[in-house]
A and B are shown apart, each in its own frame.
Chain A
Amino acid sequence: MLEPHRSPLGSLTLIAIVIGAGAAAFAYTAGWFSSERLTPRRLLAALAPPTGPALGHRRNHAKGICFTGVFEANGAGSELSRARVFARGQYPVLGRFNLGTADPNAPDATVRVRGLGISIATPDGQDWRSAMIDPPVFPVSTPQGFYELLLASASKDPIAMKNFVAAHPEFAPFGDWAKNAPWTGSYAEDRYNSLNSFVFVDNSGAEHVVRWSLLPAAQSVPISPDDLAKRGPDFLEQEITERVTGAPQRWSMVVTIANPGDPTADPSKAWPGDRRTVEVGTLVAQKVEAERGGPCRDINFDPTVLPTGIQVSDDPFPAARSAAYTRSYDLRTAEAKDYPRTATDTKP
C-alpha cells in the first residue's frame, strides 16, 4: 500500500521523471544524441555526389540493366549446403548488371567497378539474393573503413586519399587491381565475386565458411578505358543486350571453402589460392531488359536475403549492406515519380 502522506507535487515530479527517462532512453536508442554512429543515412549521404543523389535510383550501383534467366544447379553444392537452390535442377533468376557509381548516367569508361545482382527463386518459396562485384578483393576491412573511403574520395583535399591509404594499408591490393587490372568491353566477360563470406550449412548441420564467384564462359578481351570510352557512354548496356539476344550468356558458379584461420571477416583479404573449390552450377542470362520498366528495378539485391542453408558469417559487411540497401530502397521507391517507368513519361 502506498504511504498516505506523499504530496501531489512529489508524485507529479516522480511521474515526470519516469516519462522523461523513458523518452530520453528512446531518443538515445534512435541515435538522436549520437553524431558518431554510422547510420544508414550517413552512409548514403557519403555515397551521394556533390550535386545530391539521383532521385528514384539506387544510391550506389545506380547505373544498371535487368536480365532474366536461370540458375542450373548441378547438385554438387548439396554437399555444402542444404539450400534447395543447390539441388540439381533449374531455378528462375532475376538479375541486374550494374556499375559501381552513384550516377545513373555515368559513362561506362569512368567506372572501374562492375557488379552483378541476382535473385534465385526456388520452388520452396525461398529466395537467394547476392550482389557481387568484379574486383578480387574489397577495398577496406570494415564498414567504417568504407565510409572513410567515401569521404576521402569525395574530398577536395588533394592529400585526403593519400592519408586514407596510409591509414588503411588493406587498401593496397584493391588499389593495385583498380590501377593495373585489364578492363573488358562486356558485362559477359567479367568475373563477379561475393567477396563477403557466408556460412553454408549442410544436411548434417555442419557449417562451411565460403565465398563464391561467377566465372564467365565468354572469353575476356582486354580493352583500354580510352577505347571503351570511344565506343560510347552506354556501350556496355547496348553490348549485353545484343549479345544476350544473340545467345544466352553463361557464368559458372564456383564456391571456395575457407580453411580454419582464414580471414573470413575481412573481404579485403584474399584467401590462399589453394583453397578447395566446388563448382555448383551455371548462371544463364537469357533476356535483357532496360531497368526503367524492367523487373529488377523492384528488387533490393540485399545480400542477407538467404535461403535456409545459407547464413551470414562473421563478415560485418552483409549487415551494413543490408541496412544501407534497405534505406536506399525506401528512398527510391518514395521517389518513383522522379524515375518514370516509361521513357515517354520522362520529366522535363
Chain B
Amino acid sequence: MIGVDQRFTPLQRLLHWLMAIGILAMLFIGVGMVSTTMPKYLPLVAVHKSLGIAILVLALIRLAVRLRYGAPALPADLPEPMKLAAHLSHYALYALMIGMPLLGWAMLAAAAYPVVVFGGIYLPQILPQSDSLHTWLWDAHFYLAFAFFALVLMHVAAALLHALIRRDGVFETMASLSVPTQDEVVPAE
C-alpha cells in the first residue's frame, strides 16, 4: 500500500485548499484586470484588493499553524535535490502569499490611492506618496506575480509527479479528503 503514515492536519488542509482557490483566482484576476478597459475592470480591482487582504490574513494564520503543527516528513528515499526543491519552494510560496498582498497594499499607498476593501473598509496608508517607491513596488508586484504563477505550476507538477509517478504518499498528505484513520499518526508535538 501507499505508505501514508502522516498527513497535514485538517485545518492545514482546509487552509491549503481555500487558499489554492483564492490564489489562483487572484493571479487570473490580476492579469485580467490590467488588460481591460471594460466596466468589469472596477469589480475585478475591488475583488483583487479584498481577496488579497483575505489571503494575507489566511497566510499569517497558516504560517502560525505550520509553525505549531509542522509538516509530514518527506519520504526517506526522495532524492536530496528534490527535497531541497520542495523545501525552497515552500519557503518561496509562504514569502509570496504574505509578501504579494503587502506589496500591493504598499503600492496603492505610495500612489496616494485610498485603500478600500470589502466594500468600504479603509486600510491605513502604510506609505507616503512616492514616485520611486511606487515604481519599485509596482515592478515587484508585477514581476513576482508571474514568478508566483510559475511556482504554482511547478507546485502542481510536483504534486502530480508524486501522485502519478512516484506514488510515495506525498500527494495524499494534503490531497486526501477523508479524516485520519486510527492507524494514521497524528503529527506529534
A residues neighboring B (CB under 8 Å): 1-2, 6, 8, 11-12, 14-15, 18-19, 22-23, 25-26, 29-31, 37-41, 43, 125-127, 143, 298-300, 302, 304-305, 308, 312, 316, 318-320, 322-324, 327, 329-330, 333-334, 336
B71 within 8 A of A: no
**8 closest pairs, A vs B, by CB?**
A30-B31, A31-B35, A11-B164, A336-B131, A320-B37, A333-B131, A334-B135, A298-B129
Q: Give Cα A229–Cα B129 distance, bound, in whole angstroms.
A: 37
B156, B161, B164, most chain A CB atoms within 10 A: B164
A13–B163 Cα distance when bound, in Å, is: 14
Closest to B164 in A: A11
Does chain A have a CB within 8 A of B112? yes
B10 lies within 8 A of chain A by Cβ = no
Which residues of chain B are near A329, meaning CB under 8 Å?
111
B120 at interface, CB cutoff 8 A = yes
Contacts of B113 in A (CB 8 A): 300, 302, 305
Q: Is the CB of A305 within 8 A of B42?
A: no
- A298-B112, A319-B40, A324-B37 known; 11 new pairs, CB 8 Å cut-off, are A12-B165, A18-B157, A26-B31, A29-B31, A31-B36, A37-B36, A143-B37, A300-B113, A312-B39, A316-B39, A334-B138
Interface centre among B112, B120, B122, B167 (most CB of A within 10 A): B112
Interface majority SS (helix, strand, loop, mixed), chain B: helix
Q: Smallest CB–CB gap between A58 and chain B, Å?
A: 13
A-B contacts, 26 listed (Cβ < 8 Å): A2-B163, A6-B164, A11-B160, A15-B164, A18-B156, A18-B160, A19-B156, A26-B27, A26-B149, A29-B31, A30-B31, A38-B36, A40-B35, A43-B37, A298-B131, A299-B112, A300-B111, A305-B113, A319-B37, A319-B42, A320-B38, A322-B41, A323-B36, A323-B41, A324-B37, A330-B134
Q: How far is the CA of A322 from the CA of B157 in the complex (A)?
A: 38
Complex-state Cα separation, A298 to B127, whole angstroms: 14
| Alpha-carbon gap, A300 to B164, bound state (A) | 51
Q: With a CB–CB cut-off of 8 A, which chain B residues contact A127?
A: 114
C-alpha gap A39/B35 in the complex (Å): 5
Docked-complex contact B41 and A319, CB < 8 angstroms: yes
In the complex, how many residue pairs between chain A and chain B have their CB atoms under 8 Å apart? 112
| CB neighbours of B156 from chain A (8 A) | 18-19, 22
Whole-angstrom distance from the CB of A317 to the nearest CB of chain B? 9
Task: Let me know if A322 and B164 touch, CB within 8 A.
Answer: no
Contact with A along B130-160 (1 / 0, CB 8 A): 0110110010000000000100010011001
Q: How far is the CB of B154 from chain A (nearest CB, A)?
A: 8
How many interface residues does chain B have, given as a range?
35 or more
B28 interface residue, CB < 8 Å from A? yes
Q: In whole angstroms, what is the CA distance A99 to B89 when docked?
A: 51
**A29 in contact with B134 given A39-B35, A305-B114, A316-B39 (CB within 8 Å):** no
Q: Give the nearest-CB partner of A41 in chain B.
A: B35
**Residues in B whose Cβ lies below 8 Å from that of A23:** 153
Residues of B participating in the A interface, judged by any CB pair closer than 8 Å: 2, 27-28, 31-42, 45, 111-114, 120, 122, 129, 131-132, 134-135, 138, 149, 153, 156-157, 160-161, 163-165, 167
Please give, as numbers and ranges, the residues of chain B lying within 8 Å of A2 by CB-CB distance: 163-164, 167
Distance of A186 Cα from B172 Cα, bound (Å):
73
Instruction: Give the chain B neighbours of A12 by CB distance below 8 A.
Output: 165
Compute how far the CA of A135 lies from the CA of B33 in the bound complex, rounded to whole angstroms: 30
| Cα(A102)–Cα(B147), bound, Å | 35
The contact of A336 among B132, B153, B167, by CB within 8 Å, is B132
Q: Which of A40, A308, A319, A336 is the most central at the interface, judged by chain B CB atoms within 10 Å of its CB?
A: A319
Taking a contact as CB atoms under 8 Å apart, the answer to whether B138 and A14 are in contact is no
- Indicate if the CB atoms of B165 and A11 lie closer than 8 Å: yes
Q: Which residues of B contact A41 (CB under 8 A)?
A: 35
A27 to B112, CA, bound (A): 30
B residues less than 8 Å from A6 (CB atoms)? 164
* Identity of the chain A residue whose Cβ is nearest the Cβ of B128 in the assembled complex: A298
A126-B164 contact given A30-B35, A143-B37, A333-B131, CB 8 Å threshold = no
How far, in angstroms, from A21 to B124 measured CA to CA in the complex?
39
Contact between B157 and A333 (Cβ–Cβ < 8 Å)?
Answer: no
